[in-house]
Amino acid sequence: MSNIEQRLNELGIALPPAPAPAANYVPYVRSGNLIFVAGQVCFGADGKLAERHKGKLGGGVSDEMGREAARICALNVIAQVKAALDGDLNKVVRCVRLGGFINTTPDYAAIPQIMNGASDLMVEIFGEAGKHARSTVGVAELPMDCAVEVEAIFEVA
Amino acid sequence: MSNIEQRLNELGIALPPAPAPAANYVPYVRSGNLIFVAGQVCFGADGKLAERHKGKLGGGVSDEMGREAARICALNVIAQVKAALDGDLNKVVRCVRLGGFINTTPDYAAIPQIMNGASDLMVEIFGEAGKHARSTVGVAELPMDCAVEVEAIFEVA
Amino acid sequence: MSNIEQRLNELGIALPPAPAPAANYVPYVRSGNLIFVAGQVCFGADGKLAERHKGKLGGGVSDEMGREAARICALNVIAQVKAALDGDLNKVVRCVRLGGFINTTPDYAAIPQIMNGASDLMVEIFGEAGKHARSTVGVAELPMDCAVEVEAIFEVA
| pLDDT over threshold 90, residue A14 | yes
C-alpha distances (whole Å) from A53 to each of A20, A43, A65, C139 are: 19, 8, 6, 20
Quote the pLDDT of residue A2: 64
Domain B3-7+27-156 top-level CATH class: alpha beta
Residues of B in contact with A148 (CB under 8 A): none
**Could you tell me if B32 lies within 8 Å of chain C, comparing CB atoms?**
yes
pLDDT at B114 over 60: yes
Contacts of B55 in chain C (CB under 8 A): none
A156 has pLDDT over 90: yes
Question: From CA A104, how far away is CA A20, in angstroms rounded?
Answer: 25
Taking only the tens place, the pLDDT of each residue in B77-97 is 999 999 999 999 999 999 999
> Which residue does chain A place closest to B133, by CA atoms?
A38
- Cβ <8 Å between C112 and B139: no
Cross-chain residue pair C143–A153, CB shorter than 8 Å: no
pLDDT of residue B24: 85
Amino acid at C8: L
B55 dihedral zone (left: phi>0; alpha: psi -120 to 50; beta): left
Tell me the per-residue pLDDT of A35-83, one tens digit each, with 9 for 90 and over: 999 999 999 999 999 999 999 999 999 999 999 999 999 999 999 999 9
- Domain locations in chain C as residue ranges: 3-7+27-156
Q: Which residue has the higher pLDDT, C20 or A13?
A: A13
Rounded Cα distance, B82 and B15, in Å: 9
Lowest mean pLDDT among A21-25, A60-64, B73-77: A21-25
In this complex, which chains have at least 3 CB pairs below 8 Å with chain C? A, B
The pTM of this model reads 0.97
Q: Measured between CB atoms, which of A137, A153, A155 is closest to C101?
A: A137
- pLDDT grade for A23, boundaries at 50, 70 and 90: confident
Percentage of chain B beyond pLDDT 90 is 96
Q: Where are the alpha helices (DSSP H) in C61-131?
A: 63-84, 111-126
According to the model, what pLDDT value does residue B22 have? 76
Nearest to C38 by CA among C26, C48, C23: C26
What gap in Å lies between CA A100 and CA A136, rounded to an integer? Answer: 4
Q: From first to last of the 157 residues of chain C, give the pLDDT tens digit.
A: 569 999 999 999 999 999 988 788 999 999 999 999 999 999 999 999 999 999 999 999 999 999 999 999 999 999 999 999 999 999 999 999 999 999 999 999 999 999 999 999 999 999 999 999 999 999 999 999 999 999 999 999 9
Which of C98, C112, C138 minimises the CB distance to B22? Answer: C112
Distance CA A132, CA A97 (A): 5
- Contact list in C for residue B100 (CB cut-off 8 A) is none
Interchain proximity A31–B138, CB inside 8 Å: no
- Inter-chain Cβ pairs, chain B and chain C, closer than 8 A: 95
Which residues numbered 119-148 in C keep a CB inside 8 Å of some CB on A? 139-145
A73 to chain B, minimum CA–CA distance in Å?
Answer: 13
